Amino acid sequence: MKRVKEVDTSCPHGIYVYDRDTDTWVLVRTEGDPFKPDKDGIYVIYFDNTKCPACRRYDPIWFSYVRKYSAKDPKLNFVIVLCEWFARNCKSEAASKTFREYDVHASPTTIFLYVKNGKSVYNEKYEGVLYEFELSMITEGFVERAEKSLRGEKVQPPIKATASSTLQQLITELLKMIIEKEAKEQSKESGKSESR
């Protein structure tokens, strides 16, 4: 079993699982079936393409998040599925099949799975770069959303499915706040000049 400190573009294609005890990533499979967890818990899977510039921006966020949350919650399991370019260009049969199994067509893609009684019963799929605050928001209420879904209740993920839309929303809100602040300041200034 190959172990690496961090999975990067020089690593063999395949499926890597984080070992919190040694703070390393273990290449657990390159051939065979797709990754399907059968032990209960939460699985956070990062679908990474070596030729993806956005994935390279996501890497430092992802590895920081994994280290922080692996220390917080032992029920969290972290997985990286690495190919060169999705299932089409992959030197790992297992990784290629995993991209297909989870219908991944954008990179990076992060999927949260809730496994209960040995079966995946709930998932959330996020495409694009997620920032650490977004990963935290998703992680913090994930079990509650999964349990709510299992009871047949409607579930609303904390952020939209694509990180780019979340970032756009954030930028839009910030711009609105700036414009409103400037309008108030201009209103105050014009009120002062009228009173003179």
Sorted by where each begins, the domain ranges of the chain are 3-161
Q: Report pLDDT for 166.
A: 53
Res 18: pLDDT: 98
pLDDT in tens, 62-86: 999 999 999 998 899 999 999 999 9
Dihedral through CA 73, CA 118, CA 134, CA 167, nearest 10? 170
The dotted CATH code for 3-161 is 3.40.30.10
CB burial of 168-183 (b: ≥16 within 10 Å; e: otherwise) equals eeeeeeeeeeeeeeee
User: Tell me, what's the pLDDT at 178?
Assistant: 80
Structure confidence at residue 163 (pLDDT)? 46
**Residue spans of the chain under pLDDT 50:** 163
- The pLDDT of residue 22 is 96
The whole-angstrom distance between residue 70's C-alpha and the CA centroid of its chain comes to 15
pLDDT at 185: 81
Q: What pLDDT does residue 193 have?
A: 62
